[in-house]
Homo-oligomer: A and B are copies of this chain.
Amino acid sequence: MKIDAVVFDAYGTLYDVQSVAAVTEEAFPGYGSTITQIWRMKQLEYTWLRSLMQRYESFWDVTRESLKFTLDGLGLQYSEAAFAKIVDKYRWLDLYPDAKEALASLSHLKLAILSNGSQDMLDALVRNTGVDKMLAANISVESKRIFKPSPAAYDLIEENIGVKPANVLFVSSNGFDACGGKSYGLNVAWIERVSVAALHKEVRDPKTIGPVTLFKAMRMRMEALSLDPDFRIGSLAELPALIGRRN
């Protein structure tokens, strides 16, 4: 089947969610990486829990709730202004270094983002990082009032860009999202940003496992859900060659 469109997850895939660590560290010296890991883990937990409870709130609200949970749990004091400054980083996340070149080299295909992010925060993010002009669509799950990996979220691809699942390559570094796409019927490329070998080396001494390592172990590996991706790639830069071989 020919690939006519490449659809990217945003947070963790094109954009580095770890880039909030500088802001959290500046606000709470010594706690930057701990906040960053708990916040991100909880942020996704809340998307799943709110979806299951049928109590959707926007990803912007979920991002705020999960940050509040994190800071309060760690016993950290903050002003509303300090809190707002941290959350605002989600409108200015760093692109992965290879993201723009990969998008540029795929410009002969339909390119889109499908993200949990609310439409306004996603639009701000792609505009702030100069990615807006490279995309045919910047799709938020917002209109479905449910988050990935619900099939309803992936329905939005065909509904927005008119390409059938069999002709879409969905790209995500989030194991759960790669599984969700695969379960739905998309072709899936999973970005393995932390190799098995690197992780095994990092956990060799269990006494040194801190929040960052735990995050890698929890959220940067493929899930054991029997929904294996079609392709495993090390970086976005591998996509043009992979699609070239396929088409």
Contacts and interface: CB of A to CB of B under 8 A. Distances in A.
Interface of A: 30-31, 33-34, 37-38, 41-42, 45-46, 48-55, 65-66, 68-70, 72-75, 146-151, 176, 179-180, 183, 196, 199-200, 203-204, 206-207, 209-211, 214, 217-218, 221, 223-227
Task: Report the 10 A-B pairs with minimum CB-CB distance, sorted nearest first.
Answer: A75-B200, A69-B224, A48-B48, A65-B224, A53-B183, A73-B217, A34-B206, A68-B224, A52-B150, A31-B206
Nearest to A72: B224
A38 B41 CA distance: 12
A218 to B, nearest CB: 6
A180 B53 contact: yes
A52 B52 contact: yes
A76 to B, nearest CB: 9
B223 A49 contact: yes
Contacts of A37: 214
A209 B210 contact: yes
The complex is assembled from copies of this chain, and their number is: 2
A74 B70 CA distance: 26
A208 to B, nearest CB: 8
Given A68-B224, A221-B73, A53 B209 contact: no
A149 B207 contact: no
A218 B38 contact: yes
Given A66-B224, A72-B224, A210-B209, A52 B218 contact: no
Given A52-B149, A209-B211, 19 more contacts: A30-B206, A37-B214, A41-B218, A45-B176, A48-B49, A48-B52, A49-B225, A50-B225, A51-B52, A53-B151, A55-B183, A65-B225, A66-B224, A69-B224, A73-B203, A73-B217, A75-B199, A207-B210, A209-B210
A147 B217 CA distance: 24
Nearest to A203: B74
A203 B37 CA distance: 14
A189 B68 CA distance: 22
A182 to B, nearest CB: 10
Given A69-B223, A149-B52, A224-B69, A75 B203 contact: yes
